Every structure is written in structure tokens, then in C-alpha cells.
Amino acid sequence: MMEFRVEDMTCNHCVSNITKAVKGADAGASVDIDLQNHLVKVEGASDPEEIADAIRDAGYTPVQKK
């Protein structure tokens, strides 16, 4: 599992955009978003940089948690 902190994710519209972006990068990935804590958890994806790029392309600033 990979986890990203996305501070500029502020509403349910953001959640929808990020979910679509992650699914667009890897359709088989499972996305769990905690809006209150600004966390995006992705399971089943193989390339964290590809997921981060997809979130960036959607207009957000992901920071991968180690």
C-alpha cells in the first residue's frame, strides 16, 4: 500500500477528482481517501510515481508518506 498526504484536497469534489485520477492511472487500484486528514491510500498499484503524477495532473500536490 502507498499513502499520500494531499493538503490541498479540501472537499468531496476533490475526493472525486483524485479517485478518478488514480483509477485512470491504474484501473485495478483500490483508493481509500480520508478527507479530514488529507490522506489518500492506494492499494494494488505498482508504481507510486505514476500515481503521484496522476494526482498532480488532476491539480493537487501529493506528498508520499514513507
Segment (H or E) for 54: helix 48-57
- The pLDDT of residue 40 is 98
Check: CB of residue 1 under 8 Å from CB of residue 43.
yes
Tell me the pLDDT tens digit for each residue of 16-66.
999 999 999 999 999 999 999 999 999 998 899 999 999 999 999 999 997
Fold annotation for 2-65: Alpha-Beta Plaits (3.30.70)
pLDDT digits (tens, 9 = 90+) for 12-28: 999 999 999 999 999 99
Question: Parallel, antiparallel, or unpaired for β 30-34 and 2-5?
Answer: unpaired
- pTM strictly above 0.85: yes
Residue 60 pLDDT: 98
pLDDT at 32: 98
